Amino acid sequence: MSGICDGRVVIVTGAGRGIGRGHALEYAHQGAKVVVNDLGAEVDGSGGSTGPAGEVVEEIRAMGGEAVANGDNVADWEGAQRLINTAIESFGRLDVLVNNAGILRDRMLTNMTEQEWDAVINVHLKGTFAPARWAAAYWREETKAGRTNDARIINTSSASGLYGNVGQTNYGAAKAGIASFTIIAAKELARYGVTVNAIAPGARTRMTENLGLGAIEVAPDQFDSFAPENIAPLVVWLGSTQAADITGQVFNVAGGTISIAEGWHRGPQAAQDDRWNPAELDKVVHDLVAQARPPAGMGG
């Protein structure tokens, strides 16, 4: 197989099912060698098995591609290092890291437990940081050795983090953090030939079934706009050599639609050459809020 990622070495986390599986298969279809990472856990992060990752590896090999499975926990410091080493030891280098792994522990804030908060922040936010950190260290050493990188990190944010969704303070906080992480990492890693971008995907997966997407039926001859594999084309393009000039961006992607998520901008302001008196701020703040764009809904 050959395509726009011919010969590139790619890690996809959470690649045993859903969106991650679509990424892994499309990267392989486009000529990449793929490390398929997945714990095989339930949607809430409990349990685990090697089955899903192995099954995707077998699919790739049946297509004529090259792939290996990895079952490390991306939120574990040493596990994340082993994941990066798996690519280097198996295929000689690493070109692309796709951070996709995630879990859900939805709960209203008044009922959320510490464990539910910690579990989601750990898998999503630390599970993005830890692999990215070890990958960045590898690419920095490559640069120091005089070798040139054309490398990519592609993270997974969410509309819940960018625009807000009730019942997901833990998940939304993690996903908003990933968006900010992406922008900052892009600035830091440019010197090493690494671009960093993120996506906020919309698709039918185990994590969105509770939103009603699992009940949508599509005729065999119709385009399934909620199919998880629709997310892969953008992620694969971002991982290709064609995307070398795109960095620090967050993309919304669902079905056949791609858009840029425009981040925080300074809006209406009021200023004076003295400290504000709190009693003066009632009209000032209300006027500013009235002039400002309202927060976006889940559709952006």
Is residue 300 included in any domain, yes or no?
no
Residue 291, CB half-sphere, CA atoms under 13 Å: how many? 11
pTM of the predicted model over 0.85: yes
Is residue 134 included in any domain, yes or no?
yes
Residue 297 CB: number of other CB atoms within 10 A?
10
d(CA 290, CA 254): 32
d(CA 265, CA 275): 24
pLDDT number for residue 2:
83
pLDDT number for residue 231:
97
Is residue 1 included in any domain, yes or no?
no
Name the 3-class secondary structure at 104: coil
**174, 147 contact by CB (below 8 A):** no
Domain count, the chain: 1
Query: Tell me, what amino acid is at 63?
Result: M
Judged by phi (left if over 0) then psi (alpha if -120 to 50, else beta), residue 101 lies in beta
Q: Nearest Cα to 248, choosing from 159, 162, 181, 172?
A: 181
d(CA 185, CA 118): 23
What is the mean pLDDT for each group of 10 consecutive residues in the chain (300 residues)?
A: 94 96 98 93 43 92 96 97 98 98 94 97 98 98 98 97 95 97 98 98 69 61 89 98 98 96 94 96 97 88
Query: Tell me, what amino acid is at 17?
Result: R
- Can you give the length of the chain in residues? 300
Name the 3-class secondary structure at 63: coil
* Positive/negative CA dihedral, 119, 79, 139, 234: negative
CATH code (residue 58) = 3.40.50.720
Is residue 4 included in any domain, yes or no?
no
pLDDT number for residue 208:
54
Is residue 287 included in any domain, yes or no?
no
Is residue 280 included in any domain, yes or no?
no
d(CA 99, CA 94): 14
Residues forming the active site: 158, 171, 175
Tell me the H-state helices in the chain: 18-29, 51-62, 77-91, 114-121, 127-144, 159-162, 169-189, 232-238, 281-291
How far is residue 188 from each of residues 181, 193, 195, 254, measured CA to CA in Å?
10, 10, 10, 29
pLDDT number for residue 210:
54
Is residue 143 included in any domain, yes or no?
yes
pLDDT number for residue 183:
98
How far is residue 274 from each of residues 41, 79, 186, measured CA to CA in Å?
57, 53, 37
d(CA 151, CA 9): 10
Domain extent for 191: 9-260
Is residue 69 included in any domain, yes or no?
yes
